[in-house]
């Protein structure tokens, strides 16, 4: 009868060891999956920061170009005014 109990206990212990081994493998697999996901998130954050820097630089360049455009338009308006005045003077001189 002792042999029967030992056999039953041995079988139960083997089943528990197999279950523990299976759960351990599953845990290790999940750990690797979490590490991969963490690494992917980290890389995505790095890319996001780099793209934010690129966007900031582009916005700065755009603002400078807008200022330059405004200055050029102002100069163009002044030249147009001068040309208009010169045409008016030329026209008045012809009348004399």
The model's pLDDT over 29-76, given as tens digits with 9 standing for 90+, comes to 999 999 999 999 999 999 999 999 999 999 999 999 999 999 999 999
Query: Which residue range(s) make up the domain with 19?
Result: 1-68
User: How many structural domains comprise the chain?
Assistant: 1
Structural domain includes residue 15: yes
Structural domain includes residue 6: yes
Residue 93 pLDDT: 87
Structural domain includes residue 1: yes
d(CA 8, CA 70): 91
Structural domain includes residue 7: yes
Residue 1 pLDDT: 65
Q: What is the DSSP letter of 96?
A: -
Structure tokens at 91: 């026209």
d(CA 72, CA 5): 99
54 vs 4: which has the higher pLDDT: 54
């Amino acid at each position: 009868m002792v042999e029967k109990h030992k056999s039953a206990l041995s079988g139960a212990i083997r089943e528990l060891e197999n279950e523990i081994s299976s759960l351990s493998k599953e845990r290790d697999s999940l750990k690797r999956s979490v590490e991969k996901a963490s690494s992917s998130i980290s890389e995505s954050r790095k890319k996001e920061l780099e793209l934010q820097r690129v966007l900031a630089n582009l916005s700065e360049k755009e603002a400078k170009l807008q200022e330059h455009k405004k200055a050029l338009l102002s100069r163009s308006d002044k030249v147009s005014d001068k040309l208009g005045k010169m045409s008016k003077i030329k026209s008045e001189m012809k009348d004399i």
